Amino acid sequence: MKTIARQMFLNELGAIVGANHVHTSEADRLAYAVDAYWSARLWIDRGRVPELPDAAVAPGSVDEVAAIVRLANVHRVPLIPFGGGSNSQGCIIPVHGGVTVDLKRLNRIREINERSGYVVAEAGINGFALETALNDRGWTLPHYPASVHAATLGGYLACRGSGTVSTKYGKAEDLVMSIEVVLPNGDVMRTLPVPNHAAGPGILQVFVGAEGVFGIITEATMRIERLPEVRRFRSFLFPDLAAGLEAGRRIMLDRLQPCVMRLYDERATIRTVKHVLDAPVERGAYMVIGFDGFADIVDVQERRALAICADLGAEDLGAAAGQHWWDHRYDFYFPPKAPDLPWMFGTLDTVTTFDRMEALYADKKRQLEERFRDHGLYYYAHFSHWFHWGVMVYDRFFIEKPPTDADEALALHDAVWTLAVRINLAHGGVINEHHGVGLKLARFVREQFGNGFQVLDGIKDRIDPHHILNPGKMGFGAPR
Amino acid sequence: MTAASHLAAMAADISALRFCPMYVPADEVAGITRLESHTTRARAVQMWRIAAGHARWTARDAAILYETTLDSLSEAFDVWHAPIRRMMLAARADIWASGLAPPCVVRAVGVLEAEAVPVIAPCETVFIGGEAAQCAEAGAYLEGMAELLDGATCLATQTGAAACALGAVDAARRQAEGLRDAIVRANPRTLIADGPETLWALTKLWPELGAPLPTGIRVVPLMLHLARTREPSTAIAGPVFVHDARAAYLLSETKPEALIVMPGYARQPGAQEKACGTGSVFDVPRAAVAAGGIDMVWGQWTRGLARSCGADDGLHLTHPHLGAGLARERLAYAAGLGARTLASDSPMAADWLLRHRTEVDPAVLWLPRLYQEAGP
């Protein structure tokens, strides 16, 4: 956009939200240009300037969001929704410029309905602020991602996030009942009031996980739960990963409903559990299992889980070790324990069925470490979101001395990802389980869906013909 | 200016914070403005770029550094307690030294520097109103104090804490040295500090600035002195929420534990409060309230994790509208906890909160008033 036209556009934005909510300085725009995506961080680390938005705007109501979208359509300006900025996939990177729409002023709780167990809140509310308000009433939104202190409700849903207790309570997409969304033409739409029905296809789930390419989520109704009477945790040390995976499978198929079940492979047991928690473990596969709810029910669940673990040769490390893990579970994500530049690292998480997981894990570990041996790549994993049919592997690669040159480093990074994602797909997995697609994985979306992508393509072309919303993501290209 | 000395020396520490989103709950000003550049993470990114020589300070960068607090709350919230406050202070020192400080900061430092160093007549005890000197009506916090302190010499005077917070380290040093020399000439045995920031300045900051007090002079916080010598009044409307000044974190014996800010737990009255930090700086004010048998309420943002009242780190001097926003947030927080009174041992905090209190907010009490009201 040329100078005069740009300024006129900014003036119009200011007329919608107030001039003090339109930010154009480089310092402000830089703050909106980087999330937790490694490649964007690399760019900064090597002294480069990433793609900046032309401006950032902070609407205070759904009507203001709608007006911004309508204005952007007139001027064909890309819009990038922004929540807490904690995404690891580059969802918020303004690859085609445009205006970042910071939703954090939409932070009101509309209703806490204790009779039916749901909360209605605006999408920009901080996850921890929402949780605290619920906790004060004896309720919880059982979604405790590592990013809970930073992420927003809208971000949870836009990326289909997962939390520490999702094995029992479900992921963000399971907890959502309905949403309000601003469509790419500026219309404000509400999905059906209930999530389960036979009233036609579920439009709700078209927008959940779409990372803003189909619309901007402005409000959500979420299922909530009463705070549990008890929470109990216990740690185990299995002789090897296979035994731990089998224990987890049996616990899930027996419907014992653990809220937490986190199994570390042998290397992660040493590298992370021992390192961060200072746990006295030298071998084997560490597992933490937690149950919550009424004490008498937890008694039964815990007893049966203990029996399964014992049957598979696990050493019971006790409740104190399990509680210690729970109390320090976020420590892994603060500096200096969290991995950081100049290292290259990435979380390759995927999900598949129990019968395929061991092969997927073993093949990925072997191929990555062989192919990138010259770069010193190493790999480890934990398994932390379990379903009754399968499990998610949260696996990471690390290269401690990547190339100094940013272009070379990025090429190596993307080569690692290409191999890892293709292995995920070849073994019946998906390109991601709970971090989202973003810029990082956008190039694999068409490959993943195959001819199914035409469904998404058709929706996009119909409702956002100019590709204004979050262009460059989810397999869609530049604005038109 | 690119990689100036103070900030460059901290580049390695800043590096680890650059992209960590975990500090959002501690991003107090960002909590009001909802502006991403006010977050700890964004500030760290930019400070690191400058320290590493990848960027130059712009006027907007400098403004952002002053629009936020020195971030001891982010430091407290960090499970590893990275020295975030020192990073910010280093950045401000560099900005000040380079002449890039925003006009509001230059004006504030000018006002602070214009205050004359007091002359103190020889005496046994001097009450140092370092925080009172930053209040709109400093005299209000000296009124009756001489009587309460058995004839102590009472004065409201700059300690250098405010100038230091604004990055004007040389001005802070001059103020510290001037006051230190006046105290030495008066030769008292005891200094009584009016609040946590003054206590921190006299005992921690002055040695760092190269102006330590002589070893024979004892420094005692006002609340502790009163607790040892008098009985508090019980005429206070409970429940009470005790607000800890930002400087209290700098004097705490143990830092907050991460456990206190976990999602998914009901707040148990008082049960976990000490997980937010320990030390007499927190315990003495609470003991004064408890001595009257008055109920107290607590929230997660207390003790070392106390959110700003808006009068910290020079924010009330340079950006009063942001400081006012923080004050309103703090009062609303206390109200949300069910408090009828917000009490603080910091005159600066009490004064600022009182100025921004509305009739729906809890009453605001400077805790030494408990002893004044009780009489001799």
Q: Retrieve residue B264's tokens.
A: 């998914």
Q: B232: left (phi > 0), else alpha (psi -120 to 50), else beta? A: beta
How far away is chain A from the Cα of B168, in angstroms, using its nearest Cα?
23
Interface test with B, best of A149, A229, A404 (most B CBs within 10 A): A149
Query: Are the beta carbons of B263 and A128 separated by less than 8 Å?
Result: yes
A84:B265 CB<8 A: no
Q: Considering only CB atoms, which chain B residues are within 8 Å of A85?
A: 21, 36, 39, 41
- List residues of B whose CB lies inside 8 A of any A CB: 15-25, 34-37, 39, 41-42, 45-46, 49, 52-54, 58, 60-61, 64, 78-80, 82, 258-259, 261-267, 300
From A27, which residue of chain B is nearest by alpha-carbon distance?
A: B61
Which residues of chain B have a CB within 8 Å of the CB of A34?
Answer: 19, 45
- Rounded to two decimals, what is the model's pTM? 0.95
- Rounded to a whole number of angstroms, the distance between the first and last alpha carbons of chain B is 58
Confidence category of residue A174, pLDDT binned at 50, 70, 90: very high
Taking CB atoms and an 8 Å cutoff, what residues of chain A touch B61? 27
**Mean pLDDT taken over chain B:** 93
pLDDT tens per residue across span A5-58? 889 999 999 999 999 999 999 999 999 999 999 999 999 999 999 999 999 999
Nearest to B60 among A27, A150, A333 (CB): A27
* Mean pLDDT (whole number) for A225-244: 97
Please answer whether residues B358 and B335 qualify as being in contact, where contact means their C-beta atoms are separated by less than 8 angstroms: no
User: Chain B residues with CB inside 8 Å of A53's CB?
Assistant: none
CB B64 within 8 A of CB B46: yes
Q: Do B82 and A147 touch (CB under 8 A)?
A: no
Structural contact between residues A35 and A92, judged by C-beta atoms closer than 8 angstroms: yes
**Contact call for residues A152 and A123 (beta carbons, < 8 A):** yes
- Tell me which chain B residues have a C-beta less than 8 angstroms from the C-beta of A276: none
- Residues on chain B touching A91 (C-beta within 8 angstroms): none
Q: Do A28 and B265 touch (CB under 8 A)?
A: no
Q: Check if the beta carbon of residue A191 is closer than 8 Å to that of residue A177.
A: no
If we measure between CA atoms, which residue out of B200, B191, B118 comes closest to residue B152?
B191
| Length in residues, chain A | 480
Cβ distance B36 to A341 less than 8 Å, yes or no, reads no
Q: Are A84 and A150 in contact (CB under 8 A)?
A: yes
Residue A164 is predicted with a pLDDT of 96
Residue of B nearest to A150 (CA): B24
Per-residue pLDDT tens digits for A321-377: 999 999 998 888 888 888 899 999 999 999 999 999 999 999 999 999 999 999 999
Contact call for B36 and A334, based on CB within 8 A? no
- Amino acid at site B289: V
How does DSSP classify residue B342?
E
Work out the pLDDT band at B293, boundaries 50, 70, 90: confident
Rounded mean pLDDT, A50-67: 97
DSSP-H helix ranges across A349-401? 354-371
> How many CB atoms within 10 Å of residue A90?
25
- Convert the pLDDT of each residue in A123-144 to its tens digit: 999 999 999 999 999 999 999 9
CA distances from B306 to A305, B73, B266, B288 (A): 42, 7, 19, 19
Residues of B in contact with A341 (CB under 8 A): 15, 18
